[in-house]
Amino acid sequence: MLALFVLVVEMRPGRFYFITSFLLFQDSLVHLLQYLLLLGVSLTGLLLLLFNRSKLLAYGLLAFLLPCMIISLTFRFVTGYNFMYTDAVLAWNNLALADTAVQNYNWQVAAAFASALAITAGIIWARKKVAWRAAPWSAILFPLTAGAIFYQIKSTTGVVDDFPAAYRVPLTILAAVTDRLPQPVRRPVPVSTVAKGVPHLFLIVDESITATELTLHNPHLLTTPFLNSVREQIQDFGIASSMTNQSGGSNIALMSGTRMSELPDTGFHTFSSTNIFQFARKAGYTTYYIDAQQGGEVLQNFMSPEDLKYIDYVERPANQHPKKPYHDRDMWVANRLAQLAKEKTKVFAFVVKVGAHWPYARTYPADSAVFTPVLSPRSIYKDPERTLNTYHNSLRWTVDHFWRQLMHSISPADSTVVVYTSDHGQNLTQAGLSLTHASVHDTSPQEAAVPLWIWDPGQLSGATRAAKTRQGYSHEHIFPTLLRLQGYSPAWVRQQYGPSLLETMTTPRPQRFFLSGDLFGRGSYSLVPFR
């Protein structure tokens, strides 16, 4: 009965099936038997503690198990599967969003709390009904088993992580916290430029923008009417695929020139590769990193102090204008880019926008809502209609209004080229309302469906808008595009980083994929076809 309870409630049958199938068919029978043995021993350790002669040990375990169950079941109610190593990594990398997550998933947390209390009460009832008791010394099996499970999680980089919650939750968190990502010195730029490069070059990485929800790609949906009216002024590369379905992975890959053939980057080569700021510096640009999401001195998206060595100016509207409403940060970015476009020196800027980051309702002014009814500012995922309306209002403000302001502020005389995309999309189907991105099971391609276009008002890039086929592009094309616009040799760029957006494809484009899960292969991941 205990084993059945653990597999159905504490663990997840589908996850258990995945791990056993993976070990049997992709690893080895020996490792499968080791996992099953360790799972059996972990169940025995729980049994010996829960029915221990020492009440202190038994009720001590129950007190320890309660928060583990709350965390595990909260993720079960939100995502459909229990808390595992991938979730621990994602949570640890986004601690700044913890308060917001708890507030917006309040009913899931409440349901998990009630369920955990009910389970605890059931265990206490069973303990009173069963007369058998284990000797106090048998409790030593629990910490010994925990040590073995921790080694299993670490040695498999979180792939084999499904154990009872009393082990899984604290040990996966410990594994994520102790995973020290390397911070090597980045390789220097190996070549010099062969051309001057465009004077002002901006890469704008928006947040959670789904290309299929823009009027440019869905004419009946009026989320970006202004952009649609000026579509002849941009080079639109259609519905592109992001590198990953997570913000951190996509951003650092865009910054470092990581290619799809290198994913998952289990060797952490992304951290040692030459980044875009180094190339820009070598080409004579003053470099800017503009982060509209974070405040303070927080470095997000796997950036490290090594990256700051190549950035001349880090700007955050939350620091410079702390009283400015959250939904106005992107408008500040538009004004700041317009100022940089008028600098007399060469400028390169890597921009991380607020975009349509959840909760959607706080990313646009309440009085600008066009689509109704909407979610309240403290809600994220309630019913499909309100969720879509709120998300579409966010797009109307943070994409359409942003671009209206930017395009009206920069003229052809400013000699500026802007490359635009998003870190990932959002799965807005009914099945995905609880988890719109960063999923690792049954991942929808919509999570990677991002916009990709170039705005070149002075026609400096040399590419003609009509010559572009609007299919087959991805994040992988952005880094070589930036290098070419900075003045590096087209032949060298293509050899090192593949084709750019500035050339006509003469061969069929390969099948596109995106990485579902952690960029570095920690925990569950898969390469998902993108069509």
Tokens 């947390």 belong to residue: 109
| 3-class DSSP state of 418 | strand
Q: Which of 6, 83, 82, 87 is nearest to 41 (CA)?
A: 6
Give the integer Cα–Cα distance in Å for 161 and 149.
8
Q: How far is CA 78 from CA 111, 444, 461, in A?
A: 11, 16, 45
Q: What is the DSSP string of 124-150?
A: HHHHHH----B-GGGGGHHHHHHHHHH
Asked if 336 and 290 count as a contact pair (C-beta separation under 8 A), the reply is: yes
Q: Which residues contact 24 (CB under 8 A, 6 or more apart)?
A: 32
Amino acid at 388: L
DSSP, res 230: T
**Domain map (residue ranges) of the chain:** 2-178, 207-466+503-530
Q: How far is CA 133 from CA 41, 45, 56, 122, in A?
A: 18, 13, 13, 17
Burial 243-271 (b: 16+ CB within 10 A, else e): bbbbbbbbbbbbbbbbbbebbbbeeeebb
Q: How far is CA 378 from CA 359, 360, 382, 414, in A?
A: 7, 9, 11, 41
Q: Which residues contact 432 (CB under 8 A, 6 or more apart)?
A: 426, 439, 444, 446, 447
How many other CB atoms are there within 10 angstroms of residue 72's CB atom?
27
Give the integer Cα–Cα distance in Å for 90 and 302.
11
Asked if 351 and 406 count as a contact pair (C-beta separation under 8 A), the reply is: no
Asked if 222 and 506 count as a contact pair (C-beta separation under 8 A), the reply is: no
Amino acid at 85: Y
Backbone angles phi, psi at 182, to 5 degrees: -65, 150
Give the integer Cα–Cα distance in Å for 162 and 166.
11
The pLDDT of residue 244 is 97
Please provide the distance, in angstroms rounded to a whole number, between the alpha carbons at the two ends of the chain.
45
Asked if 421 and 352 count as a contact pair (C-beta separation under 8 A), the reply is: no
Give the integer Cα–Cα distance in Å for 198 and 354.
26
Asked if 362 and 326 count as a contact pair (C-beta separation under 8 A), the reply is: yes
The pLDDT of residue 466 is 47
pLDDT along the chain (531 residues), means of 10: 55 69 74 91 92 95 94 82 80 75 82 92 91 95 95 81 90 88 93 98 98 96 97 96 95 98 95 98 98 85 93 95 93 98 98 92 94 79 82 98 98 98 88 64 91 96 63 95 98 97 76 93 88 83
Q: Which residues contact 357 (CB under 8 A, 6 or more apart)?
A: 207, 208, 293, 363
User: Any idea what the Cα angle at residue 80 is, between residues 74 and 83, rounded to 5°?
Assistant: 50
| 3-class DSSP state of 279 | helix
Reported residue count of the chain is 531
How many other CB atoms are there within 10 angstroms of residue 506's CB atom?
6
Q: Which of 250, 415, 276, 400 is nearest to 334 (CA)?
A: 400
* pTM of the predicted structure, to 2 decimals: 0.80
The CATH fold of domain 207-466+503-530: Alkaline Phosphatase, subunit A (3.40.720)
Give the integer Cα–Cα distance in Å for 245 and 298.
22
| 3-class DSSP state of 525 | strand
Give the integer Cα–Cα distance in Å for 324 and 260.
38
The pLDDT of residue 499 is 95
Q: Which of 428, 477, 431, 376 is nearest to 209 (CA)?
A: 428
User: Any idea what the Cα angle at residue 215 is, between residues 207 and 368, rounded to 5°?
Assistant: 70
| 3-class DSSP state of 453 | strand
Q: Which of 407, 408, 380 is nearest to 394 (CA)?
A: 380
Q: Please state whether 159 falls in left (phi above 0), alpha (psi between -120 and 50) or beta.
A: alpha
Asked if 167 and 72 count as a contact pair (C-beta separation under 8 A), the reply is: no
Asked if 233 and 414 count as a contact pair (C-beta separation under 8 A), the reply is: no
